Structures are given as C-alpha cells and as structure tokens.
Amino acid sequence: MTFTWKTPPWERHEDCTHMAVTLTHVGGGEIAVASESVRGDNATDALADLLMGPGGAAKMSLPGLVGVVVRRGIDVMWMAQPPIEAAVSDTGEWTIAVHGVDEADVTAFSADDVRDLLARLRAAYG
C-alpha cells in the first residue's frame, strides 16, 4: 500500500482531529474501552496515528483486540463514555455498533483491519 501523506500523522505537530476508541475483550463477555485523541485527515490516518504513536503497536498486539472505532471531531463526553456496543454474532465474529452519531463521522475497524494496517505501516516505516 502506498501512503499519500507528505508527513505521517504520528509525526505531525498539529491538534488532534479525531477520537479513537480501542475495544478489547477481557473475558466473561466484558469489553474494555480505551479512548484517546489522534491526528489525521481521515479515519485511516487517525488509526495510523494511534498505531504508530507511543505504545500504539503494543496495544494492538493484544489477543483480545476486538477493534477500533474512530470518530471525527473531539467530544470529551463521548470519549469518557462512548456509545459503542460490541457483541459476538452467530458466526462467532465480533460486531461493533455505534449509537447516536452520524455514520459519516464514524468508522469501525475490525481487529483484522487494525493488524493489517499495522503490518503495512511497519513495512513502509519500520
């Protein structure tokens, strides 16, 4: 994959433009969430900032990773208690639902999507 940015999001000196919520299955059907603000021109850039920023790649190697939800804009209340539900479907796949926001402002990345992007970023940037 070719990345089109001139400066990778994790190396930019600019304000954060998105929120990223990492969902991790911690056992017993419980999901832990961790929210942080990230930079980027779109959801994929914002996910790249999350992955390549300090400690980002280590978080994504967790065996319980369910996915990451990226939302455009910063809303502290949303970060504190994101309206996200994760559930296992009949086929055993995780599904992620986000409530109360415009779908155009939210992107849900599966664990496979996250790990694939991380592998591509590592190949391109080390």
- The DSSP secondary structure of 51-118, one letter per residue, reads HHSTTHHHHHT-TTEEEEEEEES--HHHHHS--EEEEE-TTS-EEEEE-SS-GGGEEEEEHHHHHHHH
Q: What is the pLDDT of residues 17-50, one digit of tens each?
A: 999 999 999 888 889 999 999 999 999 999 999 9
Whether residue 83 is contained in a domain is answered as yes
Which pLDDT band, with edges at 50, 70 and 90, does 51 fall under? very high
71, 78 contact by CB (below 8 A): yes
Count the domains in the chain. Answer: 1
Query: For residues 87 and 53, what is the distance between their CA atoms, to the nearest angstrom?
Result: 28
Give the mean model confidence (pLDDT) for residues 53-81. 84
Is 3 inside a domain boundary? no
Q: Is residue 34 part of a domain?
A: yes
Contact, 106 vs 71, CB < 8 A?
yes
User: In this predicted structure, what is the pLDDT of residue 7?
Assistant: 92
Which of residues 61 and 117 earns the better pLDDT score?
Answer: 117
The verdict on residue 2 lying in a domain is: no
- Whether 4 is covered by a domain: the verdict is no
**pLDDT (average), residues 4-23:** 93
Q: How confident is the model over 82-118, as pLDDT tens digits?
A: 999 999 888 888 999 999 888 889 999 999 999 999 9
- Give me the domain span that covers residue 46: 9-125
**pTM score > 0.85 for this model?**
yes
Residue 94 maps to a domain: yes
Burial 65-93 (b: 16+ CB within 10 A, else e): bbbbbbbbeeeeebbeebebebeeeeeee
Query: What is the band of 8 on the pLDDT scale with cuts at 50, 70, 90?
Result: very high
DSSP assigned state of 28: T
